[in-house]
Structure 1
Amino acid sequence: MARCKLHQIDSTTTLHTSITGNPSSLPTLVFLHFWGGSSATYAPLISHLTSYHTISIDFRGLGLSTGPDDQSAYSIKHLALDIEDLLSKLALRDILLVGHSMGGKVAQLIAGRNNTPNLKGLILIAPAPPTPLVLPDDLREQSYTAYETRESCEFVIRNVLTSSTLTDEATEALVRDMLRGNRHARRAWPEYGMAEDIREEVKGMRCPVLVAAGENDVVETRERLEREVVGCYEGGEMVVVEGVGHLMVVEAPAEVARVVEEFVAGI
């Protein structure tokens, strides 16, 4: 059974976390979610990782976390600094970051900054690369409204983010999260987060990196991940999860759990 806890970062920001397992089990797996998701996105995956201590975090302004009423306060660096602050306060011994999509970009920045001394490795699941992505004006405008209504959320889930059929329950959980975030957090990623260039910062990364790509992912394609993520890190490895799209943590949690377990065993 997951245990929930709130952590005060500053006067405007409180991070909600979902925790499972025994803190004495090493390493602690720390999960960072995709744009529009929350710690709950990882519940299907974590249900297959019962022997680990896990902490899933809602980014500021998303899920059940709070954030400032400031449209410029949701950059990748802001998100990374929150997580660094939280991990420092928790004083965990061995940490392995698991970052999905936007959460993968945050994880790369944290690792590159080298301010988390007990970080032992990264698992990047369909991660946003450290390179900037600048969308054409029409696509950027469409992204602003992607999570505006229940109908738009369901369309994105079924036609963009997945390549297999989710249960109604899984779809409803995703829709609920997509509609929950505050307006600044929901707009920040398409407005400026995806365009942030963190290539210089990630050059400082010294830990092992595994990238998991979805065979049918149209958001972060295998080719782009090979070129712009794996190619950035000496010794970086890639695995391809067959038959899934961008939301592989929900589409194929058992398969992704095996990827996690094999990487942990290897380090």
Structure 2
Amino acid sequence: MLHGLGGSARAWDGVIAALDAEFEAAPIDLPGFGEARDATDLGVADMADQVAAIVRQRAAARWLLVGHSMGGKIASIVAARALAGEPGLFGLAGVVLLAGSPPSPEPMDEDKRREMIGWAAGGPLDAAAAQAFVAANVAAPLDPVAQRLTIDDLERSSRQAWLAWLERGSREDWSIDVGTLKLPALIIVGSADGELGEAGQHATNALVYPRASIVVENNAAHLLHLERPREVARHIGRFWHQRAGISPAMPEEFVRLVGSARVSRRMRAALATRAIADDPDYLPGVLSPAQLKTLRALADRVLPQTAPAIDLAARIDAQLATGQGDGWRFADMPPDRTAYALALDGLDGFGDLPEPERQARLSQLESGGFGLATLSAQQMQHWFEDLRADLVRIWVAHPATMARMGFDGFANGGDGVRKQGFELLAAGEREPWEALAEMPR
């Protein structure tokens, strides 16, 4: 949990108290603030480095980044590094931004910026400046405890850190480094906020996070976690249960192996992307909604899963949209997009059939006994073979499936010159480093 300008880890106390017990909160004092006010490395990159180091130290199997205002920019940078396969950051499940500063330069009125810089002209903020900052960033007075805590945090903030953010950090453009992050994301804003309110988030962070949901808290402004701690906690809990936390979990041993020096950044990045929870509101990019429904019914019958399940059908549609796949097709088959559309149209209503009829239809497909006007029985047989290959390939490629199977073949070499490889190759042999050796199958 990353605080905003002038805040500290204590700013999250109210939210943490209201969170469900299943969450283990890790609020951080960013360099120059809170207990870290004497730090001297105060740049945006320094803050991101510190957060990444703490994530590595905690080594959680699944984790969220929650960033308020300034902390939102840092959260996005760390999230991009996690998805790029940086060691020790595997397991990121989603991002929550509270009036988050974007990776691009923060939209800020220049008169307001000059005024805030002026507050620190002669040293750290005094009580009058701190009170002015709070008054400008809330829709109604804070409760006395939150007010005193916030004023105290502002007064003890490092003058150098305050100026570093306003004069440099907030103006830095990290857009290229961060790119587009297809993570589950929640953006919470106050209805009375200014440049980082709803309109500002649609113009900035919503473009970085195409899967983001934006929630507006009425009669709140910029200090959301202090103004609405219980509501913020409720939004985080709902986001986890409905969006970020609905993918299959992975054991800590497996996560540590993925983060180790035996795994390359490129492989780690691929596994991190595959581990992201599927979008429950996924809109098909190639298939029609009816075709996707039929494909989901086929997937459930061909490769049944226990909950939480991987949305294999949505992943096939995404594969078709990007033109990716296994690189070949039967000679008598049209391109994959066309083949899938024609076959699924011919199987429309499959999910509504009684179980015996569904099984009979699959047996017909497998044996070459079911044809269409658009695809012959042999073509449908070939398509069904391709479908099964696609489903199994995507399922096995998911890191949670790898962990369940006890597969660690991806850990054959990191980014160094020498690739470690495997020494013990006989059946039943495992090397001392293999973390999955004692994992239940």
2:95 aligned residue:
122
Find out whether 1:96 has 2:67 as its counterpart: no
Find out whether 1:39 has 2:44 as its counterpart: no
Matched residue SS, 1:109: helix
Structure number with higher helix proportion? 2
User: Is contact 1:100–1:125 with CA below 8 Å preserved after alignment?
Assistant: yes
Instruction: Point out which structure has higher relative CO (alpha carbons under 8 A, 6+ apart).
Output: 1
User: Is contact 2:180–2:207 with CA below 8 Å preserved after alignment?
Assistant: no
Mapped to 2, the partners of 1:60 and 1:36 lie a distance apart of: 11
2:205 aligned residue:
229
Matched residue SS, 1:212: strand
Shift of 1:66: 4.8
Find out whether 1:152 has 2:120 as its counterpart: no
Stretch of structure 1 that moved more, 120-129 or 138-147: 138-147
Deviations along 1:145-204, one digit per CA (max 9) or x if unpaired, are 34621011111211x110012123221110100111222212111010110111112215
Shift of 1:35: 0.5
C-alpha distance 172-68 of structure 1, shift in aligned 2 (>3 A):
closer
2:158 aligned residue:
182
* Candidates 59, 71, 80, aligned match of 2:30: 59
CA RMSD of aligned residues (A): 1.7
Matched residue SS, 1:194: helix
Shift of 1:100: 0.5
* Candidates 116, 121, 126, aligned match of 1:143: 116
2:176 aligned residue:
200
Mapped to 2, the partners of 1:162 and 1:177 lie a distance apart of: 16
Runs (5+) with no aligned partner, structure 1: 1-30
Stretch of structure 1 that moved more, 120-129 or 85-94: 85-94
User: Is contact 1:161–1:219 with CA below 8 Å preserved after alignment?
Assistant: no
Give the TM-score of the pair, scaled to structure 1.
0.82
Give the TM-score of the pair, scaled to structure 2.
0.51
User: Is contact 1:112–1:206 with CA below 8 Å preserved after alignment?
Assistant: no
Mapped to 2, the partners of 1:239 and 1:138 lie a distance apart of: 29
C-alpha distance 137-219 of structure 1, shift in aligned 2 (>3 A):
closer
1:106 aligned residue:
74
C-alpha distance 134-126 of structure 1, shift in aligned 2 (>3 A):
closer
Give the partner amino acid of 1:54.
Answer: A
User: Is contact 2:180–2:210 with CA below 8 Å preserved after alignment?
Assistant: no
User: Is contact 2:103–2:174 with CA below 8 Å preserved after alignment?
Assistant: yes
Size of the aligned set, in residue pairs, is 233
Shift of 1:233: 2.0
Give the partner amino acid of 1:77.
Answer: A
User: Is contact 1:145–1:152 with CA below 8 Å preserved after alignment?
Assistant: no
Identity %: 27
2:55 aligned residue:
87
TM alignment of 1:12-23, pairs within 5 A:
none
Structure number with higher strand proportion? 1
Shift of 1:50: 4.0
Stretch of structure 1 that moved more, 196-205 or 223-232: 196-205
Give the partner amino acid of 1:45.
Answer: V
User: Is contact 1:34–1:102 with CA below 8 Å preserved after alignment?
Assistant: yes
Matched residue SS, 2:64: strand
C-alpha distance 247-137 of structure 1, shift in aligned 2 (>3 A):
closer
Find out whether 1:243 has 2:211 as its counterpart: no
Runs (5+) with no aligned partner, structure 2: 245-441
Deviations along 1:221-255, one digit per CA (max 9) or x if unpaired, are 21010111112222222111111000111111111
User: Is contact 1:219–1:246 with CA below 8 Å preserved after alignment?
Assistant: no
User: Is contact 2:108–2:195 with CA below 8 Å preserved after alignment?
Assistant: no
Shift of 1:45: 1.0
Mapped to 1, the partners of 2:143 and 2:137 lie a distance apart of: 14
Deviations along 1:70-123, one digit per CA (max 9) or x if unpaired, are xxx322111001110121122121110110000011000101122321111000
Mapped to 2, the partners of 1:66 and 1:168 lie a distance apart of: 24
* Candidates 75, 84, 99, aligned match of 2:43: 75
Shift of 1:264: 0.6
